[in-house]
Amino acid sequence: MINILDVLGKEMLFFDGGMGTLIQKSGLDTSVLPERWNVKRPDVIQQIHLDYLMSGTNILTANTFGANVLKYSEDELEEIIKSAVFNAKKAIEMCNQDKLHFVALDIGPLGKLLKPLGTFDFEDAVSVFAKTVVLGQKYGADLILIETMNDLYETKAAVLAAKENSTLPVFVTNAYDKNGKLMTGATPEAVCATLEGLKVDAIGMNCSFGPQDMIPILEKLIKVSSTPIIVNPNAGLPVFKDGKTSYDIDKTQFGEYMERIANSGASVVGGCCGTTPEYIKEITKRLTGFVPKPVTKKNLSVISSYTHTVNFGKQCVIIGERINPTGKKVFKEALRNNDIDYILKVGLGQEEEGAHVLDVNVGLPEIDEADMLSKVVFSLQSVTDLPLQIDTSDAVAMERAMRLYNGKPMVNSVNGKKECMEAIFPLIKKYGGLVVALTLDESGIPDNPEGRCEIARKIVETAKEYGIESKDIIVDPLAMTISTDHNAAKVTLDSLERITKMGINTSLGVSNISFGLPAREIINSTFFAMALTKGLSGAIINPHSAEMMKVYKSYCALSGFDENYSEYIDFSKRITVSSSLDKNANSIQTGNEEGLKGAIIKGLKESAYNLSKEVLKTMSPLDVINTQIVPALDAVGKGFEEKTVFLPQLLISAESAKSAFDAIKEKMSELGNTQTKKCPVVIATVKGDIHDIGKNIVKALLENYGFDVSDLGKDVEPMDIIEEAKKKKALIIGLSALMTTTVPAMEETVKLAKKLLPGVKIMVGGAVLTKEYADRMGADMYCKDAMEAVRYAEDINSQI
């Protein structure tokens, strides 16, 4: 049998379109989970598949989008997946066409936020996905489609489950918003870097909106992707008319856009919500026989956080060196005492001073390095969106940190020793990442450029045997101290220049050059300038050092990397030629201390609690809330609305505010007082909809703004919502829906609430909604995001 990878990128492939709406039109009640119809009504499912096949589809998506053990028992899950794959295979048999057809096991999101944003553990998510994957391969799926993912972290969990539990090709499509990012902030470039690192076979986008709005995202992906691209849009935006849901792009318009998308470089196309066999037929009619554009290798040396990428090979990347216990007594104590907030402050301080990447080294003999490294990496990613360099010689610690890292990390390091390469390269191959390669081997560190370059070549060639390209190797030619070898700097710089000419990127721990000498900053900064002229790609330095940053900012300005000299001018405003970014560049830098407000904005939960207790010694609880906590939340909320702050930062700040509130509650309890809550709010995901991420985000923010929130969960009957609102004497009802098939249930709830609770305001939100849609169903407020829900609730509360 032909593997889909044999034809991927060589001929145009066509996915099918929407499934849920078609099942509903066939009589599915919104209270019934659609995957159950694989067993109860296989005739309906087979007919839908057959209709898509007759329209020209050659990749059928099995009806398994929500099939997982969170919704079904393991026995029922197996029966569902077995039947789903069988139904698709049966339709192919019934079709009797002489062409290639494939069945994709469809895996959608779990409907839960992963830690630290939510309560669901990353490894638990991997385990849930894995159970579905195993059954998909067992019953004959040809590939795995992971789709509609709006969180990069959950996407990674699903990919790991697929890779670790099957041999099937893995395709991934993410759901972007109108700003071209995932819900949790990832750009297309960050998604691409992460998924290519994980060796996904095809990447792309689906759902959210129509094909015209996917074109800008597609253009960004094409610039960076070395992997075939999939585009499966909705039939535009949903429109509610005459009691029915339709979409604003017809099949002809859809076909025209999809032809343009194929000509732009997509290799696989299809549809999502609102598309039918007629829509797919319009695509195949235009594109049958079309040969997709060849996928070109981009050869980008790139790492990413959960939001953005950092590229090596042009402007030198600044890697902050301060998260490292070497020579730092206070930092060592923080590690021994599990003082994570201190370490987070060290990281945030370096970000404020211009670091692009943070090196993370927690190696201390008396602690569990693997446990601490994982904890610090996880915690850092909750407060900063800078990419991290995982710095350890312990392969176990390295793997644990790489596995839970959200994005594509940088790893420090591998070297030319056979044992070391055998331990580290399999990790790079599995999880993806750039790896720093030290020019030493079993014979030690060569004292000449030729020897170091030879080790670099050996490492690069060995990496190829593991499928690791040279673009993912960053060679460190090792800066040795000149205090013991007057020729050390020359050897390092000559090695650096030669390795750069080999087409390989480089990095250096710059300050090593001056070890054992006085006035080290003078030597370090001069050596740094010399290294930059030799083509240094990445510098591990202290970004608090005024001398080092003077060199870097001026070099970038002189070399044409700083357009209009904006970075240099901004830097010059903060520093004079003789001053320093810090009173003592060698002291412990932990970022600007801004009190309780700053701790909440930065997401420092422990600090927020402790600072709240401190300010309560001189301020009343109400004053702390009004002058510290609420202004901090407002500042983060404003940043979120202006797209300068992303959802993870918003939620972590909310958690920090919650810690501050905990201290206030304790103080009020001591005083015999209770906190006055704002007006009651009832929130729920409507009947038939099992997704509650958006609702949970709204709940978290409303609670932190002091509202009395009653959360009824997901798949809630309209009358249950009404009864709870009556019981709580709620002034606001908040309703959420993600699925187009459950919008009628939202409308039913709105109309019932308007009839039975005429004074209660109703706010609605969800990916499938628009303001026009919300207005037509009679809602009082359409909230495009969680902060808009908070603003509306605040407005209603102010009118009491």
Mean pLDDT of 634-661: 88
Query: By residue range, what is the domain housing residue 658?
Result: 595-798
The pLDDT value recorded for residue 675 is 67
For residues 311 and 531, the answer to whether their CB atoms sit within 8 Å is no
Token pair recorded at residue 739: 């699925």
Token pair recorded at residue 586: 């060698």
The pLDDT value recorded for residue 76 is 98
For residue 366, report the phi and psi dihedrals to the nearest 5 degrees.
-90, 5
751 lies in a domain?
Answer: yes
By CB neighbour count within 10 A (0-12 exposed, 13-18 middle, 19+ buried), where does 278 fall? middle
Residues 6+ apart with CB under 8 A from 336: 364, 366, 367
CATH assignment of the domain containing 346: 3.20.20.20
By CB neighbour count within 10 A (0-12 exposed, 13-18 middle, 19+ buried), where does 314 fall? exposed
Q: Which of 417-431, 534-548, 589-603, 660-674 has the lowest mean pLDDT?
A: 589-603
For residues 718 and 748, the answer to whether their CB atoms sit within 8 Å is yes
Mean pLDDT of 524-539: 98
Answer with the one of 287, 322, 353 that is the final residue of a domain.
287
User: Is 345 found in the same domain as 264?
Assistant: no
The pLDDT value recorded for residue 194 is 98
412 lies in a domain?
Answer: yes
Residues 461 and 467: their CA atoms lie apart, in Å, by 10
For residues 175 and 767, the answer to whether their CB atoms sit within 8 Å is yes
pLDDT for 125-165, tens place per residue?
Answer: 999 999 999 999 999 999 999 999 999 999 999 999 999 99
CATH assignment of the domain containing 618: 3.40.50.280
User: Is 364 found in the same domain as 242?
Assistant: no
User: Is 342 found in the same domain as 247?
Assistant: no
User: Is 441 found in the same domain as 559?
Assistant: yes
Residues 681 and 350: their CA atoms lie apart, in Å, by 41
For residues 236 and 227, the answer to whether their CB atoms sit within 8 Å is no
659 lies in a domain?
Answer: yes
For residues 277 and 15, the answer to whether their CB atoms sit within 8 Å is no
Q: How many residues does the chain have?
A: 800
pLDDT, mean over the chain? 93
Three-class DSSP category at 106: strand
Look at 697 and 336; give whichever has higher pLDDT: 336
User: Is 397 found in the same domain as 506?
Assistant: yes
pLDDT for 679-703, tens place per residue?
Answer: 999 999 998 877 777 888 899 889 8
Look at 461 and 621; give whichever has higher pLDDT: 461
User: Is 619 found in the same domain as 557?
Assistant: no
CATH assignment of the domain containing 276: 3.20.20.330
How many structural domains comprise the chain? 3
The pLDDT value recorded for residue 750 is 95
CB atoms inside a 10 Å sphere around CB 39: 15
For residues 121 and 80, the answer to whether their CB atoms sit within 8 Å is no
Please give the full DSSP string across 298-349, using - where no structure is assigned: ---EEEE-SS-EEEESSSPEEEE--S--TT-HHHHHHHHTT-HHHHHHHHHH
Token pair recorded at residue 29: 């009640």
User: Is 320 found in the same domain as 222?
Assistant: no
User: Is 559 found in the same domain as 613?
Assistant: no
Region of residue 413 (phi > 0: left; psi between -120 and 50: alpha; otherwise: beta): beta
Answer with the one of 507, 540, 574 that is the final residue of a domain.
574
589 lies in a domain?
Answer: no
User: Is 636 found in the same domain as 556?
Assistant: no
Mean pLDDT of 76-81: 98
In terms of Cα–Cα distance, which of 300, 351, 287 is closest to 322?
351
In terms of Cα–Cα distance, which of 93, 39, 91, 27 is closest to 64?
39
Residues 141 and 165: their CA atoms lie apart, in Å, by 13
Burial pattern 755-770, b for ≥16 Cβ within 10 A else e, equals eebeebbbbbbbbbbe
Token pair recorded at residue 626: 């009004």
Token pair recorded at residue 791: 């603003």
579 lies in a domain?
Answer: no
115 lies in a domain?
Answer: yes
The pLDDT value recorded for residue 592 is 41
Q: Name beta bridge partners: 389.
A: 359, 410
pLDDT for 275-299, tens place per residue?
Answer: 999 999 999 999 999 999 999 999 9
Residues 271 and 233: their CA atoms lie apart, in Å, by 5
User: Is 615 found in the same domain as 651?
Assistant: yes
The pLDDT value recorded for residue 583 is 42
Residues 6+ apart with CB under 8 A from 14: 56, 57, 58, 59, 268, 269, 270, 280, 283, 284, 287
pLDDT for 570-624, tens place per residue?
Answer: 898 887 544 445 544 344 444 444 699 999 999 999 999 999 999 999 998 888 9
Q: Name beta bridge partners: 171.
A: 145, 202
585 lies in a domain?
Answer: no
pLDDT for 702-728, tens place per residue?
Answer: 988 889 999 999 889 999 999 999 999
CA-based torsion, 403, 406, 409, 413: positive or negative: negative
Three-class DSSP category at 113: coil
According to DSSP, residue 441 is labeled B
Per 3-state DSSP, the chain is made up of helix, strand and coil in percentages (nearest 5) of 50, 15, 35
For residue 791, report the phi and psi dihedrals to the nearest 5 degrees.
-60, -40
pLDDT for 28-69, tens place per residue?
Answer: 887 788 999 999 999 999 999 999 999 999 999 999 999 999
By CB neighbour count within 10 A (0-12 exposed, 13-18 middle, 19+ buried), where does 586 fall? middle
pLDDT for 438-456, tens place per residue?
Answer: 999 999 999 999 999 999 9
pLDDT for 159-209, tens place per residue?
Answer: 999 999 999 999 999 999 989 999 999 999 999 999 999 999 999 999 989
For residues 149 and 175, the answer to whether their CB atoms sit within 8 Å is yes
For residues 133 and 146, the answer to whether their CB atoms sit within 8 Å is no
296 lies in a domain?
Answer: no
User: Is 282 found in the same domain as 323?
Assistant: no
Answer with the one of 227, 256, 287 that is the final residue of a domain.
287
User: Is 314 found in the same domain as 261?
Assistant: no
pLDDT at 423 over 90: yes
